[in-house]
Chains A and B, each alone.
Chain A
Amino acid sequence: MTRTVLTVDDSRTMRDMLRMALVGAGFNVVEAVDGEHGLEVLSAHRPDIIITDINMPKLDGFGFIEAVRVDDDYRAIPILVLTTESDPAKKQRAREAGATGWIVKPFNPEKLVDAIRRVAA
C-alpha cells in the first residue's frame, strides 16, 4: 500500500527536493505552502506521515504541529520536522509542540527515508 506524505514548506525548492526523494522512495506526496494550508490539506488527504518546516508565514511549524496534535483525528500521525543542525533550541521547541522526530537539513534521500522509517509503521 502506498503511503501518503504531507510536506509543508514555504520554499518551493525544499518542497521539490522532498518530493523528488519521497516519490523516488515510493511514497505518495501532497504538499502545502504553510501551516494554515497544511491543516487544510491534512483534512483533505489524510496523510500517513507529515514532514514540516518550522519557519513559515501565516502559521509556523510549531503552531502547525500543535494544531495537529490537539485534533483527535490526526494526533497519532508521525510528524517529522525539517531543522538545521545549528539549532538545538528549535528542535526542542518542536518536540515540545509534539514533533515525532526531525530531519536535519541538508538531507539526502537516504536520511529522509531513514527518518520516516523510524517513526512510521
Chain B
Amino acid sequence: MDELEAIKVTFFQECEELLADLEGGLLAMQEGAGDSETVNAVFRAVHSIKGGAGAFGLEPLVRFAHVFETLLDAVRAGSVPNTVELAAVLLRASDILADHVSAARGLGDVDMAASAAMAAELETWTDPNAAPVAAAPAVVEEAAPAPVAVAEPVVAADDAMDDDDLGFIFVPQTISVEAQAADADLVPSNVWTVSIRPKSDLYRKANETALLLRELNRLGPIKATLDDRALPALEDLDPEAAFVTWSVRLETEDDEAAIREVFEFVDGDCDLEITRGEAAVEDAMASLLAVAEAPAPVVEAVEPPPAPVIEIAAPAPVAEVAPVAPAPVVEAPKPAIAAAAPAAATPKATQVEVPGPGQSVIRVDPERIDRLIDLVGELVINQAMLAQRVGEYGIAPSSNLAMGLDELEQLTREIQDSVMAIRAQPVKSVFQRMPRLVREVANMTSKQARLVMEGENTEVDKTVIERLSDPITHMLRNAIDHGLESPEERKAAGKNPEGVVRLAALHRSGRIVIEVSDDGKGINRERVFGIAVKKGLIAPDLQLTDEEIDNLIFLPGFSTAEKISDVSGRGVGMDVVKRSVQALGGRISITSRPGLGSTFTLSLPLTLAVLDGMVVDVAGETLVVPLAAIVESLRPKPEEVRPLGPVGSVLAVRDSFVPLIDVGQALGYRAHSPHPTDGVVLLVEGEDGSRAALVADAIHGQRQVVIKSLEQNYQQVEGVAAATILGDGRVALILDVDATIAMRRREGGAPRPTEPTLIAAE
C-alpha cells in the first residue's frame, strides 16, 4: 500500500496548506472581510480536509471537520451572519482542527473535552435552538476511530465497457405471445417487471437507457421490450426529446431496492415502475401487438421503425414462435466481470498526465547542504591561509599570483553566499505558528489581543530559524500576559480594548532582528526595581537608568508576575531566554514607555556559520571584532580623550562623548590600559544603538572568518561571542561587542576585578 501511504503524506502536506489558508481567511474575516470569496475559500479548506480525512478513515478529524463545515456552509449561505465574534470562534475552532490533523498524523493528542466543547459551540452557532448537549459526548467517544477500509483497486474496466460495445448485440427474433402467456403460470417468484419511460432530461445529462439495461442485466437475465408508439414521424421528430418506453422482464435473486438502485442516477428523469411478476410484460406485449396489427399510417410514409424486442439474457433460450413482427433481439452473454483481468493486468502502462501548475523544485537532503557549507568554510580558511603565506613571501600585490588570489577570494565568497542562500529560509515557517499562540494566550489571560506580523519573508539561515521559535514564543507570551492590560483597564485608560502585539522580522547590519512590541502599559519600573531589591538581585541604593531597570527582568531568578499565571509562569523566565539567545551569538533587550507599551528586540546573526570581522591585536592576542558593529576606526588625538570618574574616560567624537573601553582590560588580558592615543580606536555601535570606543593596539584588516562555537568546544565566556581559526592556523576569539559595552556600563567604568578571565587562545 505504498501508493496510499504516499497519498497520505500528500494529504497531510495539503492539510498544512489548507490550515494556513483557513487561518488566513478567518483572520481576514475577523478584520471585516465578509466577501463571499473569502468565506468560500474558508469553507473549501475545511471541506477538503474533511474529504481527505474521510478517505483515510480518520474519524475524529472527520467528525470535527463536519461540524465545522456545517457552520461554515451556513455562513456561506447567509443563514448565520458573518460577524467578528463568529470569526473569533472559528479561529479557535481552526486551532482544534489543527490539533485533530496533528493527532491523525500521530503527532500529539487532541484535548477531546475541548474539542467536544468547541463542536458544541459550533453547533450552537449553526442552530441556536439546538441543544448542544447531544453533540458533546458524540465527539468525545471518538477516541477509537472506526477503520474505513480503503481497498486496493480491484474491479477493472471490463471489456464490455469498450467503445460502442454495450456488452450485447441485436439479434432479430420472433416472439410467441401464446408461449409467453402459457409460461405465465410457471413464472417464478423472482421475476420482476420494470417499466422505464425516459424523459429528455435523462439524455441531457448524458445518461443512457442501454446502460440502464446493462445494469439490470447484471442482476439477472432480462428481456426488454420497447414501446415506440409515441414516436412521431421523422419530420416531426424532436431529436432531443424522448418518446419510448421500455418494459423489462428481469429474473433476479436481488430485492426491489437493488433494482431501484440501478436507477439511482436517473431518479426523476424517467417514469419508473417496478412490479413483481410478469403481468406488465403481458400488457406491454398486448400493446405491442396492437401496434403491430394496426400500424399507424404515418409510419408507412417513412422507413417504419421496427418494434424491437431485445433480449439481453444469458443462454435463456426463447421459446418458439409464430412470426408476428420482425423484431431485433439483443442477445449477449452476461457481461463478465472476469473479463476484466486482461485490462487489470497492465494498469501501470496507463499514462498519467498532470497539466497542473508546474513547479520545479529539487528536494535535497539537508545533510548534504550542511556538508557543503562545512566544506566551503574550510575553503574560506584555506584561502585565507594561502593569502597570508603569499603576503609573508613579500609578493607584490600587483603580481599575477596576488591578483589570482584576489579572484580566488572573490569566488570563494560568492560560493559561500550561494551555498548559504540554499539553506536560507523565510522566517514565515516560525511566524505562522504564532497567531494561534496569541489567541490561546489571550484566551487564557482574558485579554484581547491582535497580532500584526511584518517581514515574514525575511530570510535567515536554517540553523537560525530553528532557534527562533522558543524566544519568540516567550516574548509573545510575555507581551500579552505582562504587557497588555485587561480590556477594562484599557478602556479606562482610553485605549482600544483590543491590544495590538506586533511581531516583526528585519535585516539590520548583517543580522536578523526580531521585534515583539505591545501597546500595553509598559514596564512598571518601580515594581521591577522593588522586586529586584527584594530578591537580593541588586543593592537597594543602586542608581539605575530607566533602561537598566527595564532590563532587570532578564536577571536570573527574576519574575514580575505577582501571581504565577498559566501562561508565563512556567518556570522559564526571561533570563533563560536571554541565555539561550546569547548562546547563539544573539542578544535580547527591552525598551519600554510607561502607558504606551514595551518592545523586545532580539537579534541574531544571519547565519551561525560565517562572519565578516576586523582582525585586531590586543595585548599580544589576536581578536576579531564583528564588522557589522564597527562604525569607524580612528586614531584619537590627545585632546579628544577626557577622563571621567576615577578611572574611566570618554572620547569626544564630533559632537558627542563616547565611553572608552580598553578591550585588553575588559577581557582581563591586562590590568592597566595603555593610553588610547597609543592604539587604535574602533567606534562601535551596540544593538540598542549605544556607542562605545574600543581601544585596540593595532588593526590587521578585514577578513571573513568561519565561526566555531566556543560554547560547544569550551564554554561560554563573557565578552566573547565565538572563536575562529585564522589563516596561520591560530585560534582567535571573536569579540562580543554588546557584552563588552554592557560589562563596562555595569561596572561604571571601574577596572575589572583582579582575577582575570581565563581564556585559552590556543
Contact = CB atoms under 8 A, between A and B. Distances in A.
Interface residues of A, number: 62
A98 interface: yes
Interface stretch (B39-47, B92-100, B136-144): B39-47
A79 B206 contact: yes
Contacts of B48: 10-11, 13-14, 55
Contacts of A21: 153
B718 to A, nearest CB: 52
A19 B162 CA distance: 20
A3 B351 CA distance: 11
Contact of A20 (B153, B158, B355): B153
B51 A11 contact: yes
B355 A30 contact: yes
Contact of A45 (B157, B262, B353, B356): B353
Nearest to B343: A26
B66 A120 contact: no
A13 B150 CA distance: 14
Interface in A67-104: 69, 75-79, 82, 84, 86, 95, 98-102
B457 to A, nearest CB: 23
A3 B346 CA distance: 14
A37 B47 CA distance: 20
B163 interface: yes
The range of chain B's interface size is: 35 or more
A60 to B, nearest CB: 8
A75 to B, nearest CB: 7
B161 A20 contact: no
Contacts of A99: 205
Of A17, A57, A69, A76, which is in contact with the most chain B CB atoms at under 10 Å from its CB? A17
A44 B354 CA distance: 12
A1 B265 contact: no
Given A25-B157, A56-B44, A100 B206 contact: yes
Interface in B201-243: 204-208, 210-211, 215
B222 to A, nearest CB: 16
B55 A98 contact: no
Given A3-B157, A57-B41, A119-B207, A29 B165 contact: no
A55 B43 contact: yes
B154 A110 contact: yes
A120 B51 CA distance: 25
A114 B10 CA distance: 26
A11 B14 contact: yes
B166 interface: yes
Nearest to A85: B54
Contacts of A29: 350, 352-353
A23 B14 CA distance: 22
Contacts of A37: 355-356
Contacts of A55: 40, 43-44, 47-48
A21 B163 CA distance: 21
A121 B165 contact: yes
B352 A33 contact: no
A40 B155 CA distance: 30
A36 B93 CA distance: 31
Given A55-B47, A79-B206, 7 more contacts: A1-B163, A10-B48, A23-B350, A31-B356, A78-B207, A84-B54, A105-B51
15 contacts: A13-B10, A20-B4, A23-B348, A24-B347, A25-B156, A29-B352, A32-B355, A41-B355, A75-B206, A95-B205, A100-B265, A105-B54, A108-B151, A116-B157, A119-B208
- Among all A-B residue pairs, the 8 with the closest Cβ atoms: A24-B153, A101-B265, A106-B54, A13-B52, A109-B153, A13-B11, A26-B343, A11-B48
Interface of B: 3-4, 6-7, 10-11, 13-14, 40-41, 43-44, 47-48, 50-52, 54-55, 57, 66, 148-158, 161-166, 204-208, 210-211, 215, 262, 264-265, 268, 343-344, 346-348, 350-357
